[in-house]
Chains A and B, each alone.
Chain A
Amino acid sequence: MKSTARSFKENARQALKNQRLQKSLKVMGRGFVEKRAKARAALPEFDALCQQGQAIKTHTLEHLDLYLEVYEKQLAASGGHLHLAQTAQQACQQILQICRNSNARLVTKGKSMVAEEIGLNEHLEEAGLRVVETDLGEYIIQLRKEPPSHIVAPAVHVGADQVEADFRRVHQNLPPNRNLSDPAALVFEARNMLRHEFINADIGITGANFLVAQTGTSVIVTNEGNGDLTQSLAPVHIVIASIDKLVPTLNDASTLIRVLARSATGQSITTYTTFSTGPRRPQDLDGPQQYHVVLLDNGRTEQLAGDFSDALRCIRCGACMNHCPVYQSIGGHAYGWVYPGPIGAVLNPSFLGLEETADLPNASTLCGRCEEVCPMGIKLPDLMRKWREKHHAAGGPPAMVRTSLTAWAFVAKRPWLYQLLTGMMMPLLAKFAGRKHHFRWLPLASGWTTSRDLPAPSGKTFMSLLKKHQREGRL
């Protein structure tokens, strides 16, 4: 997908003005947050399991070369084919080649963020293949020609009435007067429309939440069953996965599964968790005849050696964006590329370069909620700060920001000057705010004040109040 991360500020402005989007974000509201909190409370061992999950990921990344070799051996032993793709382009070409080798025309797809990362659909469609997304959320945004706005709930920005309009527009062969007024009717219609696509598909493509070295297995977690229909009915199953998905054993995968759904949707486990190993066995009556795994690097090995290696532990649960005040107010599209929210602010600069994405690590109040809820203990605010530093070191922020920050630093490092100046400013600002004690607008800060009011200072600084109270013997 083409990045619009460069115009993040403008994207965010538009998102704040977009009433439809604001309504959808409100519907999403605290749903994810409350469900996760409930799931965590129901499992006393949750935090300890997260810590073990982190240790598993760290251990795997530190021995990634060796686990990769074990995985490769086991995959081959089960009759699967491994394709190594250094870049997004290579991965797309390899997948297209597999499709061509079996004269494919129709491709069904389960949800995969890595497929979004490499722009797989565009590549296959340009080559003349028909690609059908089968996850309901992905299906909806495919009809709308939009990218996903959330890594777990890709169509979270779309309202039911919009889905209804899209279905009426696209499903032309159905009676125009049918009732689609409730979500259940929409789900049922999508189910019926996708049935024969599953059955007629030549290729089924899925992602992987984990790759298990011990057994050469790929794992997907889903709720709808579309991933399973995709990979069981087509004669060829292709898995597109990145190298950071490796874990050593089934028991390690089991630990991570315990924290993944609870962090993502608040379920104790998703409805389906599927472990796939090789193609159908000789005596099997169904399942794919070929099983291919396209393993993508796309800069991850480089990341392993650098400042941002911790981000490779990410299991894409989405908790960081669900709890992010910035994501909650602008949604996922404003971030401008595949991965939104705090994890996107950390990942996208490595994929697209800082010049394109410099605003993303700044799209955060560094409030720390993301780090608090990340089951993989990724210090997202620290990593964002690191990008900010890199950007600053590279002469990044515009001159005005740099000059004001330098001026602020000069004052802040000199307490006498700081107190003098703030002491002068406080009464002024308090007057400016009026009787409500809130700024609805501030010169040079309209970016802040258009979407929220800023509480005004009381008219005195903390230091002057402290001195006053000390004088009066109240402290």
Chain B
Amino acid sequence: MNPFASNIRRALGVKAGDFERLEMVRKHLDDHGRNLIPACALRCHQELIDQFIQMLENVETTVAHVNDLVDVASEIARYQIVNDLPHVVKCGADALIADIDWSEQSDLTILSGPATGADAISLTRAFAGASETGTLFVASGPDNPVTLSFLPETNIILIRARDIVGCYEDAWLKLPWGARGPQMPRTVNLISGPSRTADIEQTLITGAHGPRRLHVIIVG
């Protein structure tokens, strides 16, 4: 018996096992009800993608939209050359990333595993993107170790166009679901731009403790 719960019941003047209250809570948890969804999240898919890109660009993020997975390796190489970055990426075991054909990029080194302080560039994959605020949803696990999203100076995130949805609520639906709700990995990271701070005299500085650069590649 949780002593906090009984104290709260005493304070609220209610009894344990009050059927109506239990039903109310059970219903609230079980219908997976949604609250108000902003209209900007309820557009057609093409508009959602455009808005997704716009929102990310508003927060100092670069976005490339390629037609096919075969174009990803050359896009990464292009991004590294333009930004004068080392030709290396570190990634996890994600199936989509595993399908990238690197054969044309012979001078690009692909490392795998979680990030260490020495890794300059990471490649991760978002399982969903919410267009309303240009937010990428990344699930931690062997496919996308969580440190890859935070330790390297540059983070490249891959997302399939069809995984871009309107609102956060739709993004949650992309996780595997059980009876009570989504089966949560250790962390789900909602990422909207490179790290930033305004802690010194309210001056916005891009690049705080997390990545200083974020590049998003939309596939399809």
Contacts and interface: CB of A to CB of B under 8 A. Distances in A.
A287 B184 CA distance: 14
Contacts of B35: 49, 52, 56, 251-252, 254-255
A188 B172 CA distance: 35
Given A214-B180, A257-B168, A277-B184, A228 B210 contact: yes
Interface string B10-25: 0111101000011011
Contacts of B202: 27-28, 31, 153, 156
Interface of A: 24, 27-28, 31, 43-45, 48-49, 52, 56, 59, 62-70, 72, 74, 78, 84, 134-137, 140, 153-156, 158-160, 163, 183-184, 186-188, 191, 194-196, 198-199, 213-215, 217, 223-226, 228-229, 232-233, 243, 248-252, 254-255, 257-258, 265, 268-281, 283-287, 295, 297, 301-302, 304-305
Contacts of B7: 297, 301
12 contacts: A27-B201, A65-B6, A155-B199, A156-B202, A160-B203, A183-B200, A217-B184, A251-B32, A252-B35, A278-B186, A286-B115, A304-B8
B77 interface: no
A199 B117 contact: yes
B199 A137 contact: yes
Nearest to A224: B208
Given A251-B33, A295-B4, A301-B4, A163 B181 contact: no
A248 B199 contact: no
**In the complex, which of the residues A31, A134, A137, A214 has the most CB atoms of chain B within 10 Å of its own CB atom?**
A214
Contacts of A136: 197, 199-200, 208-209
B188 to A, nearest CB: 4
Contacts of B92: 285
Given A232-B150, A287-B146, A273 B190 contact: yes
Given A45-B36, A66-B22, A184-B205, A254 B4 contact: no
Contacts of B46: none
B86 to A, nearest CB: 18
A411 B138 CA distance: 67
Nearest to B6: A65
Contact of A279 (B2, B21, B186): B186
Interface of B: 2-9, 11-14, 16, 21-22, 24-25, 28-29, 32-36, 38-40, 55, 59, 92, 113-115, 117, 132-133, 135, 140-142, 145-147, 149-151, 167-169, 172, 180-182, 184-203, 205, 207-211
Ordered nearest first, which 7 A-B pairs have the shortest CB separation? Answer: A225-B210, A224-B208, A137-B199, A305-B11, A286-B114, A225-B195, A277-B184
Contact of B150 (A215, A229, A304): A229
Q: What is the interface of chain B mostly: helix, strand, loop, or mixed?
A: loop
A232 B8 contact: no
A364 B194 CA distance: 39
Contacts of B14: 65
A70 B29 contact: yes
Contact of B203 (A78, A183, A284): A183
A314 to B, nearest CB: 18
B198 A265 contact: yes
Contacts of B168: 254, 257-258
Contacts of B16: 65
Contacts of A28: 202
Contact of B209 (A31, A156, A226): A226
A223 B199 CA distance: 10
A225 B150 contact: yes
Contacts of B21: 63, 66
Given A65-B9, A295-B4, 8 more contacts: A66-B22, A136-B199, A136-B200, A228-B146, A254-B168, A268-B132, A284-B186, A287-B146
A255 B167 CA distance: 10
A338 B115 CA distance: 36
Contacts of B151: 229
Contacts of A304: 8, 11-12
**In the complex, which of the residues A68, A160, A286 has the most CB atoms of chain B within 10 Å of its own CB atom?**
A286
Contacts of A66: 5, 21-22, 25
A215 B209 contact: no
A277 to B, nearest CB: 4
B114 A285 contact: yes
Given A137-B199, A215-B181, A233-B147, A283 B28 contact: no
Contacts of B187: 228, 232, 274-277, 287
